[in-house]
Structure 1
C-alpha cells in the first residue's frame, strides 16, 4: 500500500511539473545593448605637394574671432638628472588656471615629459577641455642649426614621433591627436618627407608668446595681445623652470582677449574650419 501511494505521488508530481511547463510564459530575451559609434577622427590636412607632411599655421581670418592657445611641454632625454635634482619641467598651476578660466587648449608634449610626469599627462589627456599632441620624444631638432638643439638623424625621425606616441599611451593618454610640432619650429623638406608615413599634420603658429625664460609676465601679455588676429595659433610653454611667467601672463591674456570678443578653441577646431579631412 505504501509503495502504491509513493508511486501515485510521483505520478502526480510529474503531471504537475508537465502542466506547469505547458503554461509557463516564454522567456523574454534582453535586446543587445546598442553599439556606440566610434568617435569621429580628428581633422587633419591633406598632404602637401609631392605628398609631403602638411603644415598648419593659423585658421581662417574671416570665420569668427577664434584663437588657439598652445603650450609646449618640453623635456629632453638628457634632463632626467636635472628633474631628479628638483628642477620642474611641469607646470600644474598653469593647467589649473586654464581649467579655472575654462580655456580649451592644445598641449604639445614630448614623450620624455609624459614619462617623467605620467599622472599629469594622463590627467591632461583625459580632460575634454584639452588635447594632447606630439612634440617629439626628446625635443631634439629635425634640422641642423636649430637653437643649439641636438639633431635627430633623418632615418630616426619617424621612429622618434612614434616613440612619443608610445609614451603617451603608456601614461594613459586617451586618443592623442595626429598633430606634430617640430622642436624649435625648425623643419625642411627632408623632415616633412620623413614624417609623411606617420600621417600627422605639422602645426606651427603665427603668434610667438615669447615666454621662454621670460620672468616679466607683462612682456608676454603685450606680445600676445599685439599679435593675435582671428584664427591665430599662439605658442607658449608648459614648463615651470623654462617659462616661469606663463601662468601669470595667461591670467591677464584670457580676459583681455575675451573682452575683444575672441573665443578660445583647440587646434583641432581651427584645422576643421579650413576643410581638414577626417
Structure 2
C-alpha cells in the first residue's frame, strides 16, 4: 500500500495519478490471451492487448471513450512480503465487508491480488476466483516495486521481476483460483521500459487506470467519493483497494458511488470487457 499522492512521471505513476504510457501498442492483432503463467487453461480466452514495439509488455489505462457509458472498478488486494507479522498480530489486509457490498450491489469488479495476500487469505481468494462477478488478476507476489523510487517500497531486481509474477500465479493456483486473468498491475503503479521488457513473453497486459480514487489511507469517505465521481468518464478504470487497515473508507465509498454512477447512466464492467472493446489497442 502506498500513500495518497497525486503525481505523474514519465515512467512511473502511483496511486495518486494516472500513468503516462511507457509502452505503446503497434496495431498488431492481439497476442495470445492466456498467459503462460495463468492458473489454468480456460475454454474462453480473455482478451489481451497486442505487444508493444519489440514485444514489450503492453499497457492498458482505459477503455474506449464511447457513448456507451461503461466503467471498471478495480481493487488492489495488497500485502507486502514482509507484512506477515502484522497480519499475525491482527492487522486486516482483507476487506470482507467491501466484497459483500459489491455482491449486494451486483457490481462486477477486477481484483488485482498479490500472491502474499492469497497465501494469507486462501479461502477469500478462492471465493473470489469462483464468483463469476469477479475476475482475479496478478499484482505480483511480493508487492515490491519494479522501479526505483516508488514511494518507499522495497524493489525487485530486473532479474527477479518475471519470477515474482510467476510466483504470484503459483500462489493463486494454490489458493484455488481456477482462472487467474492474464492481467498484471505493477505495485505502486510504477513501471519503466526495463520492467516492461522483463515481463515480455509472459502474455500479460499491464493494467493501470485513469481515475485515482484516493482511498489509500483516506479517512474522509466523502472526499474519496467526490474524487471518483469527478474523475469517471466513459471507459474509465478506477483504482481502489481491498485492504481494511490501509483503506478503511472504501466500502462506504462504493455504497455511495455505485447508485450515483448508475443514476448517471453508467454500467459496471470488468477490465476484460474494456480490453475486449478496445480491439487490441491501448
Corresponding position of 1:39: 43
1:137 corresponds to 2:141: yes
Give the Cα separation in 2 of the matches to 1:230 and 1:178.
23
Corresponding position of 1:7: none
Per residue, is there more helix in 1 or in 2? 1
Q: TM-score, normalised by structure 2?
A: 0.84
- Selected match of 1:80 from 77, 84, 89: 84
Corresponding position of 2:93: 89
Corresponding position of 2:261: 257
Give the Cα separation in 2 of the matches to 1:63 and 1:158.
38
Corresponding position of 2:108: 104
Residue by residue, what CA displacement relative to the aligned partner does 1:60-110 show, whole Å, maximum 9, x if unpaired? 001510000000000011000000000000000000000000000000000
Larger Rg: 1
1:200 corresponds to 2:224: no
Which consecutive unaligned segments of at least 5 residues does structure 1 have? 1-37
Aligned length: 241
SS of 2:79's equivalent in the other structure is: coil
Give the Cα separation in 2 of the matches to 1:147 and 1:204.
17
Corresponding position of 2:27: none
Which runs of 4 or more aligned residues in structure 1 lie more than 4 Å from their structure 2 counterparts after TM superposition?
none
Corresponding position of 1:179: 183
Q: TM-score, normalised by structure 1?
A: 0.85
Which consecutive unaligned segments of at least 5 residues does structure 2 have? 1-41
Corresponding position of 1:162: 166
* Per-residue deviation, 1:50: 1.4
SS of 2:81's equivalent in the other structure is: coil
SS of 1:78's equivalent in the other structure is: helix
